[in-house]
Amino acid sequence: LGCKGIGNDEVIFEYRDKQNAKLLLSVFVDDLILISENNAVKNEFLSRLNSIFDFSGSEETGTFLGIRIVQDLHAGTITLSQEHFIEQMMEKFQISCLQKVQTVLPGIYVKSYHLDDELLNKSEIKTYQALLGTILYISNCTRVDASYATSLLSRFSRFPRKRDLSALYHLARYLHTTKHVCIVYHAKGVSFDGAVYHNELIAFSDASWGNEIESRRSQSGYGGVLNGGVVFFGSKLQKVIALSSSEAEIYSVSVCSKFVKLYRNLLMEMGFVQTRPTIILIDNEACIRLLWDKRAFSRVKHVDLRTKFSVNMVENGEIIPVKISTKFQPADLLTKVVSLSRWLDIASFLFGTELSL
C-alpha cells in the first residue's frame, strides 16, 4: 500500500501521494481510522486499499473500539466518549444503576483494603476478573480518573475478597454516574500560564509517598496532555521503597520523562516537532532542585542511578520542571482518592472541558 510505519509500535502509518499530501492511519486488527490533508490523497489510498481488501467505511468516525468519536469542524474539537460502552457494561454485569456515587472508591475501603476478608468463590472470581478487565479498558482509553482505583483493585485480581468485589461495583457505579465525562481536544490548542500550546505536550508527575499500607511503597502518577486533552497517563505502585517524598517524586518523574521522550519522537515523525522543552508540572520543590542541580544529585547517589535519564533530558532542553501548587496538581487523580471539590478543580485540565458531577 506504500505506507511507512511511525513510532515504535506498528499501529500508526503514513501514506503520501505524488503531490506529497499526507494521510495518517491508525490500525487495530481489521479496524482503521484515516486522517488526511485533503480528499485527493484519501480517495487514492482507499482505491488502493479496495483493490486488495473488501471493506466498508464511513465519512464520520462514529464508534471505534467502544469509543465514540465526534468531530465538530465548526467548534474545532474532537470528543472521545465511552458513555454507551459504560451503559453496556452495567447491563452485562447486572449492576444496579440506582445508587449514584461521586468517588472512585469507598472511603472505608481505602482505609481497610489491607485487612483480611472472606475470599470469593470461583464464580465470583470470574465475575471480578471480567468486570475489572472491562473497567481497565475504559480507564486506559478515556477515564484517567479511574486509573488509581483500577491500579489498587488489580493487586487483588488473583485472589479477590468480598470487600474487593464490593469496591469494584462501587467503581462501576461511579463510572455510570459520571458516564457523561469525555475528553475534548481543541484545534487551536490551549493556554497555560500565559502561553498558547498548540500541538505541544504538557506533562505532569506526582507521587503519594508511602501510601501502600503494608509495604509502604509509593504510588506514582504521571501523564501528558495535548491540545487540551490527556494523551498518556499511568498510575502504578513503585517497585522500591522511597526513603523520602522527594525520592518518590523523582522516581515518578523518571517514568514520566520516558513517556515524554517517546511522544516527542512520535509527534516529530507525524510532523509536529516540539520546538520548546516539554513542561513537567511538579509540586515538590526538592524534586525540582534535584533535576536542576547536579551537586544536589551527588549527595543522593542511590537516586541518581535511577533518574539520570530525566536529568539528561533537562540538560538537553527536552523537558523543563515547573512548580505547580498541590491544589492544582492533575496527577493527584492518579495517586489517591480525591474529594469531589478537588476533582472539579483539576479534572478540566485533563479532559479539556469544564465538568460537573
**Do 225 and 340 form a contact (C-beta atoms < 8 A)?**
no
**Which range among 230-239, 243-252, 256-265 shows the weakest confidence by mean pLDDT?**
243-252
Confidence of residue 110 (pLDDT cuts 50, 70, 90): confident
CATH number, residue 208: 3.30.420.10
Q: Are residues 276 and 311 in the same domain?
A: yes
Q: How far is CA 86 from CA 66, 81, 131, 338, 347, in A?
A: 9, 10, 11, 22, 19
Q: Are residues 234 and 313 in the same domain?
A: yes
* Residue 67 placed within a domain: no
Residue whose C-alpha cell is 467503581: 171
Q: Across the strands, what pairs with 245?
A: none
Three-state DSSP string of the chain = CCCEEECCCCCEEEEECCCCCEEEEEEECCEEEEEECCHHHHHHHHHHHHCCCCCCCCCCCEEECCEEEEEECCCCEEEEECHHHHHHHHHHCCCCCCCCCCCCCCHHHHHHCCCCCCECCHHHHHHHHHHHHHHHHHHHHCCHHHHHHHHHHHCCCCCCEHHHHHHHHHHHHHHHHCCCCCEEEECCCEEECCEEECCCEEEEEEEECCCCCCCCCCEEEEEEEECCEEEEEEEEECCCCCCCHHHHHHHHHHHHHHHHHHHHHHHHHCCCCCCCCEEEEECCHHHHHHHHCHHHHHCCHHHHHHHHHHHHHHHCCCEEEEECCHHHCHHHHHCCCCCHHHHHHHHHHHHCCCCCC
Range of the domain at 225: 196-351
Residue where one domain finishes, among candidates 178, 210, 225: 178
Mean pLDDT of 23-50: 86
Q: Report pLDDT for 305.
A: 65
* Residue 166 placed within a domain: yes
* Residue 139 placed within a domain: yes
CB atoms within 10 A of CB 71: 14
Cell (9 digits) for 209: 509517598
pTM over 0.85: yes
* Residue 190 placed within a domain: no
Q: Across the strands, what pairs with 69?
A: 62, 80
- Nearest alpha-carbon partner for 41 in 17, 12, 63, 13: 17
What is the C-alpha separation between 205 and 264, in angstroms, rounded?
A: 17
* Residue 188 placed within a domain: no
Residue where one domain finishes, among candidates 113, 146, 178: 178
Q: Are residues 252 and 318 in the same domain?
A: yes
Q: Are residues 214 and 321 in the same domain?
A: yes
Confidence of residue 191 (pLDDT cuts 50, 70, 90): confident
Residue where one domain finishes, among candidates 178, 211, 242: 178
Q: Are residues 232 and 301 in the same domain?
A: yes
Mean pLDDT of the chain, nearest integer: 89
Mean pLDDT of 83-108: 92
* Residue 357 placed within a domain: no
Q: Give the tens place of pLDDT for each residue, 59-92.
A: 677 888 899 999 898 999 999 999 999 999 999 9
Find the largest Cα–Cα distance for the chain.
67
Q: Give the tens place of pLDDT for each residue, 133-147.
A: 999 999 999 999 999
Q: Are residues 19 and 144 in the same domain?
A: no
* Residue 185 placed within a domain: no
Q: Give the tens place of pLDDT for each residue, 255-282.
A: 999 999 999 999 998 889 999 999 999 9
Q: Are residues 206 and 260 in the same domain?
A: yes
Q: Are residues 48 and 94 in the same domain?
A: no
Confidence of residue 299 (pLDDT cuts 50, 70, 90): low
Q: Are residues 103 and 133 in the same domain?
A: yes
Q: Are residues 140 and 233 in the same domain?
A: no
Q: Are residues 21 and 101 in the same domain?
A: no
Residues in the chain: 357
The total number of structural domains that make up the chain:
3
Q: Are residues 153 and 288 in the same domain?
A: no
252 vs 62: which has the higher pLDDT: 252
* Residue 218 placed within a domain: yes
